[in-house]
Structure 1
Amino acid sequence: MNNTSIPFQASKLPLSFRLDRRVPRVLGILLLLTLTAMIVHVGQGDYWIDPWETFKSILGLKTNHSETFFIINTLRLPRTLVAWLVGIGLAISGTITQAITRNPLADPSIIGINAGAALAAVILLIIFPSVSLTLVPVAAFLGGLIISILVYLLAWENGTSPVRLILIGVSFNLITSALTNLMITFGNINHVSQALVWLAGSVYGRSWEQVATLLPWTIILSIIAFLLSNELNTLHLGDNVAKSLGSRVEWQRGLLLLIAVALAGASIATAGAVGFIGLISPHLARQLVGVSHQGLLPTAAMIGGIIVVIADLLGRLLFAPIEIPCGLITAIIGTPYFIYLLITKR
């Protein structure tokens, strides 16, 4: 009998892939941490706002100071929500990438999303500086998508394999990163400065327009990813096992890769090259709720959102009034953690 015709049954999965009973409790705690981080993030700044006033303003209730509502809802809350959504998108993308490549050190950059998005954005900012800045997110998304498609096509040889995806993805990363650095080296200094800010990763100045663009994208793709969590579980076991359980491996891997690309591409296009979220969040989530993707995906998403919100808060406060892009903060956190993973995961 053709293995691909066998209907998939979640009950055939190993016990380690069953939903962990800790998931509801962990998600509840992470939700409280998220709300706390958001209230602190929104209240901090040159004009400090009391947490209770912040909470009332977020809910649309009347506050004691008229300027409080404007500061929170026009200047700070959109930035906080964008940081949160970017963290969610990158975390889910990283979780999917680690599952389909079966590599615990994988993140969206390993299949060329980050580097492709960066190259496209730098090309637009340096070679076509007169073009509207509103096209930078579009160019970044298309750049990440094109590189990811090329990686997938070149990795195809009677099907794809995690090893080929990783090797070709790393190769494209090196090529596109070199081209990006080359353009920065020879570009006009005024245009290069804009590109460097974008490459650092920042949510500074983000408005409700970016929230409205990113929110439906993140919600829809996150729901689709969660509905495919059983497929992620089987792919994580290896192609042969997945086929024996009735999975259509190539179709599922391609679809999940497309979701990962779309989530990471949209996040990077909105906030620039914020790194390491897709690497750190899934690992922390596994320690809390195990390896089943039914619990792993939402847990990693919550952790990713919290990390970016806190990173942006630290970037605003550490050397105030000078702001450090949140992408640099996540790099400072992520680099030693990556070294730790290299040592422990070998």
Structure 2
Amino acid sequence: MSAVRLTAVSATLLLLIALVAAVHVVQGTAAVGPAELWGWLTGSTDGQAAAVVVESRLPRLAAGVVVGLSLGVAGAVMQSVARNVLASPDTLAVNSGAFLAVTVGATVGLPSALGGDLVLAFVGGLLAALLVFALAGTEYGTVRLVLAGTVISMGLASISTMLIILNPIEGVGLQAWEAGTLTQNGLSTVRLMTPLVAVVLALVLLHARRLDLMALGDDEARSLGVPVRRTQLTVLLLAVLLSAVAVTLVGPIGFVGLVAPALVRLGTSRVAGLHRHRALVPLSGLTGVLVVLGADVAVRAVMGSQRAVQVPTGVATTLLGAAVLLGFALRLRASRLDEGGNALDVRGLGVRRPLLLVGALVVMLAVVAGASMLVGDRMFLVGDLINWLAGRGGPVTSSVMDARAPRVLAAALAGVALAVSGAIIQGVTRNPLADPTLLGVSGGASVGAVLVVTAAPAASYWAISGASAVGAVVAATLVFGLAARSGFATDRLVLLGVGVAYGAIALVTVLIVATDPFNASKALTWLSGSTYGRAYEHLVPLVVACAVLLPVCVAGARRLDLLSVDEDTPRVLGVDPARSRLLLLGCGTLLAAAAVSVIGVVGFVGLVAPHAARALVGRRHRLVLPVAALLGAVLLSLSDLLGRTVIAPTQLSASLLTAAIGTPYFLYLLHRSRRSG
């Protein structure tokens, strides 16, 4: 009976793939419909229609089949190795590592020396996966794996972007390819990869029996003669190789390796034998093919054939993956990283003289701000700055410093807003790893702002700020509202936040592609997380937000102290937890939205600054908030300064520098929580 059902499932998948493939082939900018397709198949069509099908449509279709099969099988294997339903080439940072390696090869000329992009992609993906496993470990649950993979992916992506900026000629095309596109130049690459995929799939199926036994547990598998570690390493290498094939062909198409096996596993309770890897692995591959081709068909159906040429297929698969993450977040049993105690409880009282520390940070911020005014494509002396402040600067000095001053002020104020936002979100949720970017708040703000930038280019910064605030509030309501049902448990909060963040990235990509090139360039410049081109009028919404919301946050420091302990302590002391949480989260959300509306999405400031502040002054928020604000201002100002000066006249966005600083620190926090656990 199980064989009959498995056969029926396989036949259904093959039929659906055939139908979607037929639709896929007749979609495009040239007029090649079902009649022309049938004529080509029977050999009776004209040469031009045949050329369109063979030279353009079939390579794209073949690439979708190979990539979908590769990612579906890779995801199923990675989930089995990690014993984690959310393991995939994306959450294990394999795609990001592979893309970084290929980017390095393209920018410094390594492919010819090391045997091609496939070798580079394989090595990069493998190293990234090993790093994620080293930090997460398969025994530490879903949240740690997703956190480690997401943050490592962000760090690797920032390095890739930096290399592309530094090498614009060698990196031509890499940025568009980064989102994953099925566009091919003929069938030559697909022909080269297809035999390799077939061989790797056969090797994976040879290990199907061992994978079945390993699902019982390591000890049980060893007692049955399975070499557990060797098998895990072997199948992981095979899965990474399949992911490398996909990245080499079309770039890192997101979340196919998560969605396809997840859909297949949903049927294990209804189809006997589907949980066995000899069925699970190939059916996950077929489902991956259906997901990739279906996503490509959906993009061209919604966007139109002409406009869809510029829309990466990975956008649709990322939206689907974000929905799957949200679904798993609501279904998984809630737990915390810090079950053994409050992870926000920093041991020790911090420095003995906190006011002296605040004074030192103020001086440090003044030094960084002063250096930002003096250093750049044109250098000045301290005397020039003093004369400018006194109104005695010359025409050249005044012109340059008048342009730099708003950028310096924007970086400082945005750093303050993001740091205080992160401190509030961490305190209210009692989550040491919360951050406006990781939890989707900044992503929601970016969707609202980009929507206005692309739809109404002449809109004022007040309109952009208002739309950014609306987007942030919608994202925060979704994430925090659903997470509140489980007491802000870490796994649910993180999965909801990451899902919303990925969904926001995909929506922003669609908005940018759907607009004209001028608006797209404007949105991309803003999204890069930079102070470039900022003037005083652009800062008004951020100044107003800081002036209004920061005093409210400081006044709520005692409530924040109580909320960061547990649910009962505030009630005992006469504080309404629900009302206080709503007020504080609202302030944190609006501060993040104001920062995003002015300088774009900048990550890790809201994570690093509050943690560093607690390490310096303890956990009382009357000290944490001002110290975190100053640290955030210093961090973002310094990042902006380095981005403008290190490779001048070329500029790196501040977000790239904060990612370079924040990623190692976040991984240290993750490692420390694992060790303490």
Q: Is the pair's TM-score, using the shorter chain for normalization, greater than 0.5?
A: yes
Alignment match of 2:448 (pick from 120, 128, 137): 120
Q: Residues 15 and 341 from structure 1, CA distance in 2 versus in 1: closer, same or farther, beyond 3 angstroms?
A: closer
Task: Report the equivalent of 2:650.
Answer: 322
Residue 470 of structure 2 is aligned to residue 139 of structure 1: no
> Contact 1:198–1:272 (CA<8 Å) still a contact in 2?
yes
Distance in 2 (alpha carbons) for counterparts of 1:179 and 1:248: 37
Alignment match of 2:364 (pick from 33, 37, 53): 33
Which letter does structure 2 place at the counterpart of 1:86?
A
How does 1:217-228 map onto structure 2 within 5 Å? 217-228=545-556
Distance in 1 (alpha carbons) for counterparts of 2:635 and 2:351: 23
Q: Residues 212 and 189 from structure 1, CA distance in 2 versus in 1: closer, same or farther, beyond 3 angstroms?
A: closer
For residues 83-126 of structure 1, the C-alpha deviation after alignment (integer angstroms, 9 at most, x for no partner) is: 10000000000000110111111111344311101222333344
Once the two structures are overlaid, the 10-residue window that deviates more, 218-227 or 144-153, is: 144-153
> Contact 1:151–1:169 (CA<8 Å) still a contact in 2?
yes
The Cα of 1:287 is off from its aligned counterpart by 1.7
Gaps of 5+ in 1: 1-13
Distance in 1 (alpha carbons) for counterparts of 2:534 and 2:644: 14
Residue 584 of structure 2 is aligned to residue 256 of structure 1: yes
Residue 396 of structure 2 is aligned to residue 67 of structure 1: yes
Aligned length: 327
The Cα of 1:15 is off from its aligned counterpart by 12
Task: Report the equivalent of 1:6.
Answer: none
Which letter does structure 1 place at the counterpart of 2:488?
P
Q: TM-score, normalised by structure 1?
A: 0.86
Distance in 1 (alpha carbons) for counterparts of 2:346 and 2:615: 16
Q: Residues 44 and 196 from structure 1, CA distance in 2 versus in 1: closer, same or farther, beyond 3 angstroms?
A: same
Q: Residues 290 and 55 from structure 1, CA distance in 2 versus in 1: closer, same or farther, beyond 3 angstroms?
A: farther
Distance in 2 (alpha carbons) for counterparts of 1:289 and 1:18: 6
For residues 38-88 of structure 1, the C-alpha deviation after alignment (integer angstroms, 9 at most, x for no partner) is: 111001122211123313423x3534x34323432x211111111100000
Task: Report the equivalent of 2:638.
Answer: 310
The Cα of 1:277 is off from its aligned counterpart by 0.5
Task: Report the equivalent of 2:610.
Answer: 282
Question: Which consecutive aligned stretches of 4+ in structure 1 deviate over 6 angstroms post-superposition?
Answer: 14-20
Distance in 2 (alpha carbons) for counterparts of 1:15 and 1:110: 22
Q: Residues 189 and 75 from structure 1, CA distance in 2 versus in 1: closer, same or farther, beyond 3 angstroms?
A: closer
The Cα of 1:166 is off from its aligned counterpart by 4.6
The Cα of 1:194 is off from its aligned counterpart by 2.9
The Cα of 1:156 is off from its aligned counterpart by 5.2
Task: Report the equivalent of 1:105.
Answer: 433
Distance in 2 (alpha carbons) for counterparts of 1:19 and 1:278: 20
The Cα of 1:191 is off from its aligned counterpart by 4.0
Distance in 2 (alpha carbons) for counterparts of 1:122 and 1:239: 38
Distance in 1 (alpha carbons) for counterparts of 2:537 and 2:415: 18
Alignment match of 2:626 (pick from 298, 301, 304): 298
Q: Residues 315 and 110 from structure 1, CA distance in 2 versus in 1: closer, same or farther, beyond 3 angstroms?
A: closer
> Contact 2:365–2:630 (CA<8 Å) still a contact in 1?
yes
> Contact 2:415–2:632 (CA<8 Å) still a contact in 1?
yes
Distance in 2 (alpha carbons) for counterparts of 1:185 and 1:213: 27
Task: Report the equivalent of 1:45.
Answer: 376
Task: Report the equivalent of 1:161.
Answer: 487
Task: Report the equivalent of 1:230.
Answer: 558
Once the two structures are overlaid, the 10-residue window that deviates more, 130-139 or 213-222, is: 130-139
Task: Report the equivalent of 1:9.
Answer: none
> Contact 2:350–2:615 (CA<8 Å) still a contact in 1?
no
The Cα of 1:250 is off from its aligned counterpart by 0.6
Residue 427 of structure 2 is aligned to residue 96 of structure 1: no
> Contact 1:277–1:304 (CA<8 Å) still a contact in 2?
yes
> Contact 1:16–1:292 (CA<8 Å) still a contact in 2?
no
Distance in 2 (alpha carbons) for counterparts of 1:278 and 1:320: 28
Once the two structures are overlaid, the 10-residue window that deviates more, 188-197 or 144-153, is: 188-197
Once the two structures are overlaid, the 10-residue window that deviates more, 43-52 or 251-260, is: 43-52
The Cα of 1:130 is off from its aligned counterpart by 4.7
Task: Report the equivalent of 2:388.
Answer: 57
The Cα of 1:23 is off from its aligned counterpart by 1.3
Residue 499 of structure 2 is aligned to residue 171 of structure 1: yes
SS in structure 2 at match of 1:217 = helix
Gaps of 5+ in 2: 1-344
Which letter does structure 1 place at the counterpart of 2:409?
L
Task: Report the equivalent of 2:47.
Answer: none
Higher Cα radius of gyration: 2
Which letter does structure 2 place at the counterpart of 1:69?
S
For residues 169-214 of structure 1, the C-alpha deviation after alignment (integer angstroms, 9 at most, x for no partner) is: 3332233233334445666555433332222101111111133332
SS in structure 1 at match of 2:540 = helix
Distance in 2 (alpha carbons) for counterparts of 1:280 and 1:191: 33
Aligned-residue CA RMSD (Å): 2.5
> Contact 2:346–2:619 (CA<8 Å) still a contact in 1?
no
Alignment match of 1:76 (pick from 401, 404, 415): 404
The Cα of 1:340 is off from its aligned counterpart by 1.6
Distance in 1 (alpha carbons) for counterparts of 2:467 and 2:479: 18
Once the two structures are overlaid, the 10-residue window that deviates more, 197-206 or 308-317, is: 197-206
* Structure with higher RCO (Cα < 8 A, 6+ apart): 1
Task: Report the equivalent of 1:3.
Answer: none
The Cα of 1:332 is off from its aligned counterpart by 1.7
The Cα of 1:240 is off from its aligned counterpart by 1.9
Distance in 1 (alpha carbons) for counterparts of 2:449 and 2:358: 35
Residue 675 of structure 2 is aligned to residue 344 of structure 1: no
Q: Residues 186 and 210 from structure 1, CA distance in 2 versus in 1: closer, same or farther, beyond 3 angstroms?
A: closer
Distance in 2 (alpha carbons) for counterparts of 1:151 and 1:105: 15
> Contact 2:372–2:408 (CA<8 Å) still a contact in 1?
yes
Q: Residues 239 and 79 from structure 1, CA distance in 2 versus in 1: closer, same or farther, beyond 3 angstroms?
A: same
Distance in 1 (alpha carbons) for counterparts of 2:569 and 2:516: 53
Task: Report the equivalent of 1:8.
Answer: none
Which letter does structure 2 place at the counterpart of 1:68?
T
